[in-house]
Structure 1
Amino acid sequence: MSMVVIVLALAFGVGVRVFRLDSVPPGFHQDEACVGYDAYSILKTGRDHHGHFLPLNEQAFNDYRRPLLTYSLIPLIEVLGLRVSTVRLGAALWGISDLVAITALAGLMLGWPGAAAAAVFAAVSPWDMSFSRVAVQGGSAAATVSIATLFFWRWRKGRRGIWLYLSAFVFGLSLYSYTVADLFTPLFLAFLALLYWREFRDSASQSLRAAALFVLLAIPLAASFVMYPAQLNAHFNELSLLTTTSCAGCTITPLSVRLATSAAGLAGYFTPSFLFVHGDLGDHWTLMHVPGFGQLLPEQAPLIALALFALVVGTRRKTAVFLLGWTVLATLPAAVIHPLGAAWAEPGKVRPTAWTLFDPSTATLPVTPWLVFSHPDSRHAVLAMVPWILLSALGFVTLLELTSSRRALSITLCAALAAGTLFHAARFIRSYFIDYPVIAAPYFQYGLEQVMEHLGPPGHPAQRVAITPRGSEPYIYVLFFEHYPPERFQTERVILIRKKPGGVAALPVLSFDRYVFIPPDSAYRGMEHGTFVFSGADPTPVPPTISIRYPDGTIAYNIVSK
């Protein structure tokens, strides 16, 4: 029965991760466009779109990011071309790898019933689904940690050195997946060494070789931090809750306030509201999570409670300690990072709106510990989603063990659990593919692909195109959807607005080629000829040539020709 459940769950999980990738979520997030175009640029020139050769730290907009996801997209783009569906297929493949690794890891830890439970909860996980269909770094980070941990447990079962070396290699790769791994991976490895010190002691030579392999992989990244500390730390210093100031010119925040805010942020990731009821509320740039659902299914709540019960009774105490420690360590990096949903919070709004990007005059709330507590960010805590699923599987196995002498009770509870899981999973899947696209469209810059289709192929350079700078990084969409030759962008004249200390562009591109990213109303008054792209919030000087509308019918962009 467990094998049948696993096969069905994996098949369903693969299906929902690849279905309608080009249209759900609607539009295309700026980070997806950036990672896709950088992969295309490296494929064509060996450099990212900023001109850095085979970067270990990929410059995006106002930050540097880890390149594992970008490099993994290169073969897909070579075969399938530069498309939205191709970039998101890369995310889906990482998600599918994570799904398989979770199932296999649960099988090693908990046996067939545990593997079946993990497969089901991972396949329909609201948290895992979100990161398996959007090309952001969190999905590749979660998958690498899951695969590395799977190899570690495989080594524990047979003590064959190859599995420990593979584990060390993939843990080393995890450092190049997402910046939160900088803190998590070393702490997690130290935790494994402490919890399983006898196994490492008994295989000392294997352990030393594996440690050396991990250090060898970490050296290039460590060297880049030594060589370019200002650039690589600039964005973290802006977002860290532990820094003395949150913005240039702000008053210094007392240490007690910073610690209280970080503690509040940590606590927010363990609340029932975040885990089982409301989930990640999103921010003004992103709505990764379907509103009205927790990061986990409600049926996982009693199972997680049973898993914690295993800490004091039963034979699986060490497994419970391992999973609980994994969960806490995976949440620690998120606790020191400012959740983006707490920035520009609007009075009277539970969920941050994308409209703030188009109307900067919107009133906002000051950042407080309570505000940080109320807006946990699923991206910053993405490495915790796997241990939460495995804790649920441990709870299910504990339930079977506690009711093993009462078969009727065991069958009744399992049937009720299965019915509830199917009901809530079906509600989530329906909402994700039907309701969510309407709500999420503004957060994913919906309409810019249609704008580029209307503009057509490049014409005479004198026919300028002025695109509203409202929204997020519109230049990257021009590069992506026009398949702009990377060598041209790297060598031709590109005007940047300004640069922050350390050389990272704050709003990188003001103009290149025939494109200029300035308020289109002023461009319309100053340019004799051109095409002008207004956001839906901008009044147009004349009736638009064409209007691009969101799925709910409201205007996303107006295009005016002159």
Structure 2
Amino acid sequence: MQVLKLSIIIIIAALIRIVFLDKIPNGFFPDEASNAYDAYSILHTGRDQYGDFLPLVFKSANDYREGLYIYLMIPFIKIFGLNEFAARMTSGVIGTLTVLIVYYLAKEVFNQRVALFSALLLAVSPWHIQFSRITFRAILFPCLFCLSLLFFFKSFKNPKFLPLSGLLFSFSIFTYQSARVFVPLFLIGLIFIFHQFLWQHKFYTLLASLVFLLFFIPQIIFYVSPQGMTRANDVILSSNWLTIIKVYFSHFSPEFLFFKGDPNPRHLPQHRGELYYFEMITIPLGLFYLIKEKRKENTIFLIWLILYPLPAALTSEIHSLRAIIGAPLFAIISGYGLTKLFDLRLPYKKSIINFIVLLIVSISFVFYSHRYFIDYPRWLSTAWLSTMGEVITYADKTSSQCIVLDTNIYGEHIYILVPFYTKLEPSYYQKLGVDVAIHRLDMGSWKVENLNEISSLNKQCVYITTTQQLETIIGKGYKPQPLEHFKDINGEEIYQLVKIKS
């Protein structure tokens, strides 16, 4: 029976993370395209988009990304080709596996009931679903971290698991910038709490430490290098302690967790929190019993809770992506609270309570699903550059030998959508020397330019720009003529492909 319940939960998790991946979110973001094209380039040439041979760290959009996620994308792109579905499938699979890992983690620490509820709540978690459906490498962080912690708890029964846990912890750091802050601090707490156990098993502890350092030290050397600090400098680490404290505590606020969530439309459908309303009851209840029971294992989850907002707080920004490690944590705490709710002596039969709870969870999930799959694609479609793929694909099939992509659409980083949608041969692309860091963005017939900075336009070219930007073209003394109309789900033309006349 328990296997059947777990199977149903995993099926739900997989379906909600995989169906309509190529259409929802509505569009495709440059960060996603960059990861996908790097994987495509490695697949066909063994080199990334810049021509570097099997790099561990990818320069990408000049932000030097950890390569583990990109290498995991390769099998999906090999099977399904270079497209939105193949790129996002990686996150869908990782997200689904995380649900299974959380089940075994909660079962190891608590019991099977808590495990099933924890897995169910993560399976339907708006926070976790959002990043399981887009090609952002951050989704790999909670997956590997939970797996690392699972094997650490398993080592209590069999210390031979300690080296494997150490290896996985080092890998979990190599997933996303937030892990660089969170994991080392978490491990300090882990060592402090379980120092007696680690001392009793000195050999396996030493072996785990050596394995961890073997993979962690090279990462540290890179992270403190100019390239490794590029992304940290881009997001601007805050030095204002009052701001850091304010942003830190905002990640515990009901506004963030239950009502408004992350304001970035790419991180959450607007007008809802990261979690469900009913968890305003189950999370405090779970926390209460975690503290009350005073188990060492429970303390780990409290340390996890204390540390989870820190990476986001250091950048002075409410940010569910940088705080994504909180998603499985809240599912476990909430699942634990649910089991304690069932154990309360209430004047109702347990069957009635079970039915009510299941009904509330189901209704909450149905409302969220409607908001995500029906409403979300229609909201702020510019956030995902909806229809841009259609425009680029159509432009590439025209006979024009000069196609200009306007950077006013989404800055210079939009360049990567060109090789992604045109499936530009990687070996050819690498020879072009495209590099956003030095503003070298021409790709054969394709040119990526800021139309506002060009006084005289080439009438032999066709131009991809926004509908609003047409006024700028007219202001320069040209008459734009649309070559094709590209309407989004709301029937609006966000982007235009035009030729021009004097």
Same-fold call, TM cutoff 0.5: yes
Match of 2:12 in 1: 12
Residue 520 of structure 1 and its aligned partner are, at CA, apart by: 4.7
Q: Write the letter of the residue equivalent to 1:321.
A: T
Q: Residues 214 and 458 of structure 1: is their aligned pair in 2 closer, same or farther, counting only changes over 3 Å?
A: farther
Residue 409 of structure 1 and its aligned partner are, at CA, apart by: 5.3
Q: 2: distance between equivalents of 1:407 and 1:117?
A: 23
Q: Does 1:337 align with 2:315?
A: yes
Which residue among 270, 283, 306 is the counterpart of 1:328? Answer: 306
Residue 33 of structure 1 and its aligned partner are, at CA, apart by: 0.3
The alignment partner of 1:421 has SS state of helix
Residue 197 of structure 1 and its aligned partner are, at CA, apart by: 1.9
Residue 410 of structure 1 and its aligned partner are, at CA, apart by: 4.3
Q: Does 1:132 align with 2:132?
A: yes
Deviation track 1:258-295 (CA, whole Å, cap 9, x = no partner) reads 0000001101100001111111111xxx5221112211
Structure 1 stretch displaced more, 27-36 or 184-193: 184-193
Residue 49 of structure 1 and its aligned partner are, at CA, apart by: 1.0
Q: Does 1:308 align with 2:287?
A: yes
* C-alpha contact (below 8 Å) 1:25/1:440 kept by paired residues: no
Match of 1:190 in 2: 188
Q: 1: distance between equivalents of 2:242 and 2:194?
A: 33
Which residue among 465, 469, 475 is the counterpart of 1:534? Answer: 465
* C-alpha contact (below 8 Å) 1:106/1:393 kept by paired residues: no
Q: Residues 237 and 528 of structure 1: is their aligned pair in 2 closer, same or farther, counting only changes over 3 Å?
A: closer
Q: 2: distance between equivalents of 1:198 and 1:298?
A: 40
Deviation track 1:365-411 (CA, whole Å, cap 9, x = no partner) reads xxxxxxxxxxx2100101111111111122123223443xx683544
Q: Residues 324 and 471 of structure 1: is their aligned pair in 2 closer, same or farther, counting only changes over 3 Å?
A: farther
Structure 1 stretch displaced more, 513-522 or 67-76: 513-522
The alignment partner of 2:114 has SS state of helix
The alignment partner of 1:558 has SS state of strand
The alignment partner of 1:107 has SS state of helix
Q: 2: distance between equivalents of 1:446 and 1:63?
A: 24
* C-alpha contact (below 8 Å) 2:238/2:316 kept by paired residues: no
* C-alpha contact (below 8 Å) 1:36/1:87 kept by paired residues: yes
Q: 2: distance between equivalents of 1:530 and 1:22?
A: 30
Deviation track 1:494-532 (CA, whole Å, cap 9, x = no partner) reads 4x67xxxxxx45xx4442211112245876953131211
Match of 2:403 in 1: 465
Q: 1: distance between equivalents of 2:431 and 2:344?
A: 68
Q: 2: distance between equivalents of 1:237 and 1:525?
A: 36
Q: Does 1:557 align with 2:495?
A: yes
Q: 2: distance between equivalents of 1:523 and 1:561?
A: 16
Q: Residues 306 and 3 of structure 1: is their aligned pair in 2 closer, same or farther, counting only changes over 3 Å?
A: farther
Q: 2: distance between equivalents of 1:39 and 1:510?
A: 20
Q: Residues 164 and 440 of structure 1: is their aligned pair in 2 closer, same or farther, counting only changes over 3 Å?
A: farther
Deviation track 1:180-233 (CA, whole Å, cap 9, x = no partner) reads 11111111111111122222122111111011101111122123245xx22221
Q: 2: distance between equivalents of 1:242 and 1:522?
A: 33
* C-alpha contact (below 8 Å) 1:287/1:440 kept by paired residues: no
Unaligned runs of 5+ in 2: 474-478
Identity of aligned residues (%): 26
* C-alpha contact (below 8 Å) 2:159/2:201 kept by paired residues: no
Match of 1:249 in 2: none
Matches within 5 A, 1:333-372: 333-339=311-317
Residue 543 of structure 1 and its aligned partner are, at CA, apart by: 3.3
Residue 70 of structure 1 and its aligned partner are, at CA, apart by: 0.4
Q: Does 1:430 align with 2:426?
A: no
Match of 1:476 in 2: 416
Q: 1: distance between equivalents of 2:381 and 2:143?
A: 27
Q: 2: distance between equivalents of 1:334 and 1:409?
A: 44
The alignment partner of 1:449 has SS state of helix
Give the TM-score taking structure 2 as reference length: 0.92
Match of 1:159 in 2: 158
Which residue among 229, 232, 236 is the counterpart of 1:233? Answer: 229
Match of 1:263 in 2: 245
Match of 1:442 in 2: 382
* C-alpha contact (below 8 Å) 1:66/1:177 kept by paired residues: yes
Which residue among 191, 197, 200 is the counterpart of 2:198? Answer: 200
Q: 1: distance between equivalents of 2:66 and 2:492?
A: 36
Structure 1 stretch displaced more, 26-35 or 296-305: 296-305
Q: 2: distance between equivalents of 1:390 and 1:407?
A: 27
The alignment partner of 2:486 has SS state of strand
Q: 1: distance between equivalents of 2:419 and 2:349?
A: 60
* C-alpha contact (below 8 Å) 1:165/1:209 kept by paired residues: yes
Q: Residues 241 and 524 of structure 1: is their aligned pair in 2 closer, same or farther, counting only changes over 3 Å?
A: closer
* C-alpha contact (below 8 Å) 1:6/1:115 kept by paired residues: no
Residue 318 of structure 1 and its aligned partner are, at CA, apart by: 3.2
* C-alpha contact (below 8 Å) 1:310/1:317 kept by paired residues: no
Q: 2: distance between equivalents of 1:312 and 1:523?
A: 63
Unaligned runs of 5+ in 1: 244-257, 340-375, 498-503
Residue 560 of structure 1 and its aligned partner are, at CA, apart by: 1.3
Which residue among 193, 197, 208 is the counterpart of 1:210? Answer: 208
The alignment partner of 2:227 has SS state of helix
Q: Write the letter of the residue equivalent to 1:513.
A: G
Match of 1:247 in 2: none
Q: Write the letter of the residue equivalent to 1:536.
A: T
